Amino acid sequence: MDTQEKLDILSADAQYDLSCACGTKNPLEHRKRNATGDGWLYPMSTASGGSGIILKTLLGNRCANDCKYCPLRAQQDFHPVALSPYEMASFFFEFQLKRPLIGIFLSSAVMGNADKTMDMLVATAEILRKHYRYKGYIHLKIIPGASRASIDAALCYASAVSLNIEAPGVKHFSKLTDRKDYQKDIIDPLVYIGKQTSKNGRYKRVHTSSQFIVGASDEVDKEILFYGSRMYSELNMGRLYFSAYQSGLGDPSIPGEQRRETLVQQPWVQPSLFGEELQVTNEVAKESLIREHRLYQADWLLRKYSFSYEDLIFEKSGNLSMEKDPKLVWAEHHQDYFPISVKQGTKEQLLRVPGIGPAFADRIVAGRKHAVLSNLEDLHLPSHCLQKAEGYLHI
């Protein structure tokens, strides 16, 4: 196979790794199938707010680990494919000269062991930086169990790195794998990365992200978001992602090639961040994707809306409501907090109002300095936002 044929396979196998800020309009746009036919190209929003297209792929797909949710797990029956660092770097550099790309997201199955795989990922980045003088965006995946030396090498060349936490706690993690050690392979490297990329760290310019596999164990949303909130506050985490486990992908009774086809043919959706429709016919898949969607909404409340973990309201099961977004649930449980005055309410207060996000809150605070507000229509909010907000605001 030539490099492009290998990329067709490896990029399909990279689809579940979401920790590259894919999505130019909202954090779920990575669920929209690429329409160009170039399966390795993905829309992306950068940490600084820019957007563009990245090349996203694995270096190799034959994995030594045994993650039960993963179709690429060890001892599965499918044809292995791999690219050398030079092959990957040269293809990407030549390709981005022909079509504008803002960068590359590079991950890999564990080929042999963690540090051997990290050496190949870092070598690709080093070739791009030193040989090709490439100054664009490079996101490198940190392989679980990687040494500190390998992590430092990745941080030296990368614009962003990610290491997936996978599950909230050792109890749930142990149900996903028998070969990886939660503390040694996941938590300790995450702590080290957090220190190195903190505002006083050597690599403070490097953005960090991680990902939970939702539903592969019997974890509940309360556990996921508790761990997530601590990752933001204690590990300098830039962004968290949530990937709904697709039933059967790690089932050893399903042949490897069939599992890989399941990965490629999974239901793809593009819900709005606080929307309610998910165009999925499979009810089990729909439920898992709604759960993923609610976790993204709660995560946005933590990152963008000044909510704390303690503000989040869960069902008795420990999960978020499947019927209502978590911000609306909070508002309905805190009627004494409302209504908020559009003339005097602070940005933080306005952010608690259903239908009002950071952009609209800023617009209200800035606009009332220059115009008289006599009714809610003077806010010039979109009708669907005003409909949600009007019961929680007053002039």
Tokens of 349: 């207060």
pLDDT of 64: 64
Tokens of 41: 């190209």
Identify the residue whose tokens are 């490097």: 206
pLDDT of 46: 61
Which residues fall within 8 angstroms of residue 225, CB to CB, at 6 or more apart? 295, 298, 299, 302, 309, 312
pLDDT of 301: 97
pLDDT of 55: 86
Beta bridge partners of 162: 141, 209
Q: Residue-wise pLDDT tens for the chain (395 aa)?
A: 788 888 777 777 666 566 555 444 444 444 444 444 455 677 776 655 667 888 888 888 776 666 666 666 555 555 778 889 999 999 999 989 988 888 999 988 888 899 999 999 999 999 999 999 999 999 999 999 999 999 999 999 999 999 999 999 999 999 888 889 999 999 999 999 999 999 999 999 999 999 998 988 899 999 999 999 999 999 999 999 998 886 544 444 444 444 444 433 343 333 333 444 444 446 667 788 899 999 999 999 999 999 999 999 999 999 999 999 999 999 999 999 999 999 899 999 999 999 999 999 998 888 888 887 788 888 888 889 989 998 999 88
Of 127, 130, 152, nearest in space to 142 by CA: 152
d(CA 242, CA 265): 19
pLDDT of 25: 45
- 354 upstream amide cis, omega within 30 of 0: no
Backbone angles phi and psi of 43, in degrees to 5: -70, 150
Query: For residue 214, what is the enclosing H or E element?
Result: strand 207-214
pLDDT of 343: 87
Rg (CA), the chain: 22
3-state secondary structure of 335: helix
pLDDT of 388: 92
pLDDT of 289: 85
Beta bridge partners of 241: 211
pLDDT of 272: 38
The structural domains of the chain, ordered by start, are: 3-328 (3.20.20.70), 336-394 (1.10.150.320)
